[in-house]
Structure 1
Amino acid sequence: MPTDRFYPIGTPGQAWSEAERDQWRARQVRQRSYADDVLAAIDMLRSRFDVESYGELRYGNAHHVEERFPLMALRSRNWQRGLPSVLVTGGVHGYETSGVHGALRFLQAQAAGYASRVNLLVVPCVSPWGYERIQRWNFDAIDPNRAFRVDSAAQECAALMRLVAPLHGQFAAHIDLHETTDTDKTEYRPALAARDGKPFEPCSIPDGFYLVDDAENPQPAFQAALIEAVGRVTHIAPGGENNDIIGTPLVAPGVIEYAKKELGLCGSISGARYVTTTEVYPDSPRATPEQCIAAQVAAVCAALDFVLAI
């Protein structure tokens, strides 16, 4: 939709009611299969990892048939006290494809190289309903990556926090795999403004890979190591006219900072010292889908290598 026109659901200046949320749900079309793309790939890894269901999403109401999605995590088979532990999450925003498939590709192709050196907990697809609809929000029009809070209304977030809670503070690193897409500008931000009854504010989309560090716990050497590794796979996003990315000042090449806990971001849940959010740009004419997946894998491997070197 054009970004200079109001979103087709709701009334300008008024936040959505449940009626508008139902209109929005009716527009969300299932476009791919979580079972075929994700669960089948996880099944192929059962001989190498401990696979567990850490919950089940149940979404539906009087106007929409209930759907159920098992939430799956994979752990190192021989979890050893004394080894560094690393959390990898993908698909917090279900539409961010390379995050999901980057986590799976890492498990398939690279994780064996870190066996007996690192304890891994990997959640490839936090938001399966959003994955199937290629949608940022969940069924309730909640952005999961703003909802990692106590008593979260987002089922995906509450379930993931319960999974991680027993290990909180024991992780050395947490890598959360994301994308920034052109639909952030054309769909998500107009929808967000309409949902909240606020004016639409246009944004630019950076061309390239970048990272989001934690403003409350910045780790510049860690971020630099990941940027250096990913730069061998795909290009790093330059700063804009104001040396910024999506309105946030660069603190280093390809790195910005957000206050992760304050914003309710997934990167706040582990208590790890080294935390980052990856952001791949899949719509770039300079990057292929394969490069985007490879960039996510490179970031995870660089994070593990950094942890093992300290």
Structure 2
Amino acid sequence: MRTRFTELLGIEHPVVQGGMMWVGRAELAAAVSEAGGLGIVTALTQPTPHDLATEIARTRKLTDKPFGVNLTILPSINPPPYDEYRRAIVDSGVTIVETAGSSPEPHMGFFREHGVQVIHKCTSVRHAVKAERAGVAAVSIDGFECAGHPGEDDIPGLVLVPAAADALSIPFIASGGFADGRGLAAALVLGADGINMGTRFMCSEESPIAAAVKRRIVEATELDTTLIFRSLRNTARVARNSVSEQVTRILADGGTFVDVQELVAGSRGRRVFEDGDLDAGIWTAGLVQGLIHDVPPAGEIVTRIVREARAVLDATQTKFTP
């Protein structure tokens, strides 16, 4: 299934496994790429740049097809050594990087110098246009349905995707709310050049999270997420559990980030994924969990979605036959 995005990156199918903290490891990324999609290793899941280089090497042993690395750049009191992670990426020969968080502009010169194609993830058309001006090769645009941070505009994909298509000249992929071939077909019709999925790939055999988390996503419906940090204008969509509900109550009662800081610590969320304790902390999941009903191999997810999309598009065409 060829689109501008597949042609740009030399992949077979316009299906991307987006970068996910604690999830984007070698086995998952390689399985997606081996099936013809684009797998993504998450840089900051690795504790040091050296560990990232090792993880990239592991991925390369599992597939000789293109894969990328996610580098999420956020303001922090004690920021990671981003320059060293960038260096590890290019020294490892990776030529595709997914950036997220802050503007990619400060990093574009370095990546351009080393022949790296940058896909920037953003949540609004205005940020996508700004990223295009900064020189990124492609954009991944997140609708309000997505897991993690959907921004503060609350624009769902049905409006955001065609709005982005009208505003951008570079290839872009749609993210948030995609799990099957119907979603891929819809994204293509709306003007996107592919789709990016996180929650769907969390529920794959190669996903390194606990089986209990995968079962919970399969059992959950589209009603089983909650939005936290709204009053702080740092909205995050997470799975509904006792911790996320407690955070919501505290902030609704006038609490500040300090009052919930211990509850939302990343170390607690990591315990959810590693130990399967669903109430150990907050963990991200998108509305699309209501469309996820199994835990197949990641490669099967890619090929199934492409096969379904072709069938959906063919069936839809017959509805317009005189």
TM-score by length of 2: 0.26
Of Structure 1 and Structure 2, the greater strand share is in: 1
| TM-score, normalising length: structure 1 | 0.26
Structure showing greater relative contact order (alpha-carbon pairs closer than 8 Å, 6 or more residues apart)? 1
Richer in helix (by share): 2
